[in-house]
C-alpha cells in the first residue's frame, strides 16, 4: 500500500520506477547521480518496490540514526521478502540475527554494549597496530614478484579475516570457513529484494556451522583461557551480569561478518578512488602523514556501508511525510555523505578535507563498535600499498560491483604494479 502523501506532483512516482535498480544493474557502478536526484526531488521518498522510506539528506539521516521512534530490530524486514512457507524453517536465522548488537534496542542493546565495551577497548585495538602491519607486509611479500595483482583477492579480502580471527583467537585453519560464513550471511542481510530463498537457506546453513564451531571454541576457552577476545568476552561481567553462549556467538558472528566486510570494502573502494583521482594519490604518496584524513575522506566518498535500516515504532511526521508504525526507514549513508548541504563539493575526493563528519560508521548508540579497528586496518593497508607501489594503475577501467544493497564493494580490483 502506497502512503497517501508519498508522491508529490508525480515526481515521486517517476522516481519509484527507478529506485529498485538504484544499486543494481547500471546503477551498481555509480549510484550517486540517483542519490542526488532523490535528495533534490523527493528526499523522504516512498519506494513502492521496497515498501520502505528512503532518506537521502544528511540532516534527516543523522536524526534518524538517533531517533528513539525508530527500532533497530529489522529482522522482520529480512524475512518478509521470503515466501511464507519458508519463514518457519528459517526461524533460527531470524532469531540469531535478532541477537546482533546492531539489530537490538535498549535495554538489550545497552546490556550487550556495556559488557562488550569492557573487552573491546581502544587500547586492545591500538595494541594490534604492529601485528596488522606485519600481516600487510606478509601479504605484499607474497605478491612481490607479480606484475599484476588483485587488491581484493590479495590484500583487502585476507587482511580483515586474519586480523579478526587473531583477535578472537581463531586458529589460521578456521579463517576460510570464517570468510565463507561472513559472505553467506551478508548476502542475505544486505541483499534487499535479491534475498532469494536459496540465499537465505545458505545463510542458515552457514549459521549452523558457525554455531557448532564457536560453541566448541568457547567451551575450550572457558576451560583454558588465552590472550584473545573470546576468552575476554567469556569473563566480562557487569553487576553480576555475564554474556551467555547465545550472546557470545551473536557478538562473534557480528564482529566477524561486519568487521570483515566493512574493512574489505574500505580498502578496495579506497584504492579505486585514489587510482581514479591521481592528484590525490600523488599527494598521499608525497605525504604519508595524510593517511588519517585520507581514510576519513575515502569513507565519506564511497562508503562501505550504504544504508542502515530502521523500523518505525509509532506513527510520526518527517519532512511533511507521514511515517506509519511498522514501515521500514532506510537511512542512505552513501547519499548523506554526498549531500552538498553538508559537504562542499561533495563529489570531489579531497584527502585534506577538514571537519569531515561523515556517517559511514553510523551514529548514536549504534555507532559501529569496530570502527577504530576498521580505520586502523584501512590506514595501514592503504598507506602501505601507496608507498610500496608508487606506479600502481588500474588493469581495467571497468569494475564489477557486488550485488548487495547495503554493502558497497568490488568483486575484484586488478592492478598493474
pLDDT per residue as tens digits for the range 87-96: 888 888 888 8
Alpha carbon distance 114, 238 (integer Å): 8
Q: What is the pLDDT of residues 87-140, one digit of tens each?
A: 888 888 888 888 888 888 998 888 888 877 766 677 878 888 999 999 999 999
Q: Cα-flanking dihedrals φ and ψ of residue 19, to 5°?
A: -65, -25
- Does the pLDDT value for residue 239 go beyond 80? no
Nearest residue to 374 (alpha-carbon basis) of 304, 301, 287: 304
Question: How far is residue 133's CA from residue 175's CA, in Å, rounded to a whole number?
Answer: 19
Could you give all domains of the chain from N- to C-terminal order, each with its CATH number?
Answer: 11-416 (1.10.630.10)
Q: Is the pLDDT of residue 374 over 90?
A: yes
Residue 153 has pLDDT above 80, yes or no: yes
- State the cell numbers at 310: 530502521
- The cell numbers describing 388, all together, are 610500496
Which pLDDT score is estimated for 264?
Answer: 94
Q: Can you list the alpha helix ranges (DSSP code H) found in 104-157? A: 108-117, 122-126, 129-142, 151
User: Given strand 148-150, what is the order of strands in its sheet?
Assistant: 148-150, 414-416, 393-394
**Would you say residue 194 has pLDDT above 60?**
no
Distance in angstroms (rounded) separating the CA atoms of residues 265 and 374: 10
Helix (H) or strand (E) holding 283: helix 278-286
C-alpha grid cell for residue 105?
534496542
Contact 271, 285 (CB under 8 A): no
Q: What is the tens place of the pLDDT at every residue in 21-77?
A: 554 544 568 889 889 999 999 999 998 877 889 999 999 999 999 999 999 988 877
Q: How confident is the model at residue 10 (pLDDT cuts 50, 70, 90)?
A: very low
Res 8: pLDDT? 47
- Residue range 380-406: average pLDDT? 92
* pLDDT score recorded for residue 26: 45
Angstrom distance (rounded) from CA 5 to CA 412: 42
Alpha-carbon span 336 to 104, nearest angstrom: 23
Residue 19 pLDDT level (bands cut at 50, 70, 90): low
* Residue that wins the pLDDT comparison between 178 and 290: 290
pLDDT-based confidence at residue 18 (cuts at 50, 70, 90): low
Q: What is the pLDDT of residue 258?
A: 73
Q: What is the C-alpha to C-alpha distance for residues 86 and 321, in angstroms, rounded to an integer?
A: 34
pLDDT for 308: 92
- Tell me the residue length of the chain: 417
In this predicted model, what pLDDT tens digit does every residue of 329-365 receive, in sequence order? Answer: 999 999 999 999 999 999 999 999 998 999 999 999 9
Whether the CA torsion 192, 411, 254, 364 is positive or negative: it is negative
Residue with cell 594503475: 393
Amino acid at each position: 500500500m502506497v502512503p497517501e502523501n508519498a508522491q508529490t506532483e508525480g515526481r515521486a512516482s517517476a522516481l519509484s520506477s527507478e529506485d529498485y535498480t538504484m544499486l543494481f544493474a547500471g546503477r551498481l557502478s555509480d549510484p550517486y547521480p540517483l542519490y542526488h536526484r532523490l535528495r533534490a526531488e523527493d528526499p523522504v521518498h516512498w519506494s513502492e518496490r521496497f515498501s520502505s522510506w528512503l532518506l537521502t539528506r544528511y540532516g534527516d539521516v543523522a536524526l534518524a540514526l538517533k531517533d528513539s521512534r525508530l527500532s533497530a530490530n529489522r529482522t522482520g524486514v529480512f524475512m518478509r521478502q521470503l515466501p511464507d512457507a519458508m519463514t518457519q524453517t528459517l526461524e533460527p536465522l531470524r532469531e540469531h540475527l535478532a541477537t546482533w548488537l546492531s539489530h537490538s534496542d535498549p535495554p538489550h542493546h545497552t546490556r550487550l554494549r556495556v559488557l562488550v565495551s569492557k573487552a573491546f577497548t581502544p587500547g586492545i585495538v591500538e595494541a594490534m597496530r604492529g601485528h596488522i602491519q606485519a600481516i600487510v607486509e606478509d601479504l605484499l611479500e607474497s605478491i612481490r614478484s607479480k606484475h599484476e595483482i588483485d587488491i581484493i583477492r590479495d590484500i583487502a579480502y585476507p587482511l580483515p579475516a586474519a586480523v579478526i580471527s587473531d583477535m578472537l583467537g581463531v586458529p589460521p585453519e578456521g579463517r576460510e570457513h570464517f570468510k565463507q560464513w561472513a559472505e553467506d550471511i551478508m548476502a542475505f542481510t544486505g541483499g534487499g529484494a535479491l534475498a532469494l530463498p536459496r540465499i537465505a537457506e545458505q545463510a542458515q546453513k552457514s549459521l549452523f556451522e558457525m554455531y557448532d564451531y564457536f560453541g566448541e571454541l568457547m567451551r575450550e576457552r572457558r576451560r583454558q583461557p588465552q590472550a584473545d577476545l573470546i576468552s575476554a568476552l567469556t569473563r566480562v561481567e557487569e553487576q553480576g551480569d555475564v554474556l551467555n553462549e547465545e550472546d557470545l556467538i551473536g557478538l562473534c558472528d557480528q564482529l566477524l561478518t561486519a568487521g570483515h566486510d566493512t574493512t574489505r570494502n574500505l580498502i578496495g573502494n579506497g584504492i579505486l578512488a585514489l587510482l581514479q583521482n591521481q592528484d590525490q594519490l600523488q599527494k598521499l604518496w608525497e605525504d604519508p602523514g595524510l593517511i588519517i584524513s585520507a581514510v576519513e575522506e575515502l569513507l565519506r566518498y564511497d562508503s562501505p556501508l550504504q544504508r542502515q535500516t530502521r523500523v518505525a515504532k509509532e506513527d510520526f511526521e518527517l519532512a511533511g511525510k507521514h511515517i506509519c508504525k511498522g514501515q521500514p526507514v532506510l537511512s542512505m549513508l552513501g547519499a548523506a555523505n554526498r549531500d552538498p548541504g553538508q559537504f562542499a563539493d561533495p563529489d570531489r575526493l579531497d584527502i585534506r578535507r577538514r571537519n569531515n563528519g561523515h556517517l559511514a560508521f553510523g551514529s548514536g548508540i549504534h555507532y559501529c563498535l569496530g570502527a577504530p579497528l576498521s580505520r586502523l586496518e584501512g590506514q595501514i593497508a592503504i598507506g602501505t600499498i601507496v608507498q610500496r607501489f608508487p606506479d600502481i594503475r588500474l588493469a581495467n577501467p571497468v569494475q564489477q560491483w557486488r550485488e548487495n544493497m547495503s554493502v558497497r564493494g568490488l568483486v575484484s580490483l586488478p592492478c598493474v604494479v
